[in-house]
Amino acid sequence: MNPKIFGIHHITAIASDPQGNLDFYTSILGLRLVKKTVNYDDPGTYHLYYGDKQGHPGTILTFFPWPGVRRGRKGTGQVTVTSFSIPKAAVDYWLERLKGHQVIVSGPVQRFDEEAWSFQDPDGLDLELVVSETLDSREVWEAGPVPAEFAIRGFSGATLSEEGYERTGGLLTETLGFEMIRETGNRFRYQIGEGESRSWIDLLCNSSTPHGHVAAGSVHHIAWRTDNEMNQAAWLERLLELGFNVSPVMDRQYFRSIYFREPGGVLFEVATDPPGFTVDEPVATLGARLCLPQWLEPTRVQIEKVLPPLSEALRGE
């Protein structure tokens, strides 16, 4: 069996303030809170998922918000930039909107024939808006504060900072099925997927940069899409045969996951598309309540006492 990767499934980062994180990604960036749950390995901490209307793979940015956690250190062995796709006609809207919310934006940077605008979230997580020249019809959250015609369409790609790119590049092309398509200076671009699920990964070779430390304002891991549990099992077997230390399959309620570290140190995940975020909430009310897996339900009262209260701003402006 030759299992396939279909692009980015989700990216997970660390935040320091749950309410500030929620306000930024929903009220400013206009993403939908599609799931409010807890970190299954640390149930006293939220796990917040943001994305499109239904939380489709390829649109999901998630956070573990640990109140008061210190800032991380940016460096090699990390996903250092998360890039969102926006329509070309939306650039002026986003520049005005971010400026109006006192978000500092730099750019544009012209890179591989595309235009990118850079900014940070409240914890210093590096983000980009990348202008898409083609029509991207991925579903958006039309009930949010950003008009549908200007809304973020999901991930365009992500940048990995590495001490050296060759072994990571070899994993991407020889094992995961990426294609190296462009390079300039110390930046190497790899692409995978088709149509609107297509994703790119830039490997940025920074041999003189110290290794980074994951904490607030940094990415914890990046997850790749596979279509079902059978193909995920094939990925597990293949990665083990190649000598990677791979976790067993873990039930994340909304997808199944395996984890391993690529040669440069970035934590990779292979996650299944199903079952999705509607297994415990209908589309109309996604993110409205604290959702717990069955094995944590007996401790719901204790968990809710520990978690800080969260309030989502009224939709629309």
Domains of the chain, start order: 8-306 (3.10.180.10)
Average pLDDT over residues 120-131: 98
pLDDT reported for residue 136: 72
If one counts every other C-beta atom within 10 angstroms of the C-beta of residue 16, the result is 20
Please name which of 243, 161, 235, 154 lies closest in space to residue 195, comparing C-alpha atoms. 154
Please name the residues in contact with 257: beta carbons below 8 A apart, sequence gap of 6 or more.
223, 247, 249, 250, 269, 270, 271, 272
Rounded CA-CA distance 107/292 in Å is: 41
CB-count exposure of residue 311 (10 Å: 0-12, 13-18, 19+): exposed
As a whole number, mean pLDDT of residues 288-314 equals 93
**Per-residue pLDDT band at 137 (split at 50, 70, 90):** confident
Across residues 138-151, what is the average pLDDT? 92
Write out pLDDT tens, residues 32-59: 999 999 999 999 999 999 999 999 999 9
pTM across the whole model: 0.96
Note the pLDDT tens digit of each residue in 95-116: 999 999 999 999 999 999 899 9
The tokens describing 116, both together, are 């990118």
Predicted confidence (pLDDT) per residue in 202-248, tens digit: 999 998 899 999 999 999 999 999 999 999 999 999 999 999 999 99
135 band by pLDDT with thresholds 50, 70 and 90: low
pLDDT band at residue 316, thresholds of 50, 70 and 90?
Answer: very low
Say how many C-beta atoms besides its own lie within 10 A of residue 237's C-beta: 13
State residue 283's pLDDT score: 96
Q: What is the pLDDT of residue 211?
A: 93
Q: Is it the case that residue 118 has pLDDT exceeding 50?
A: yes
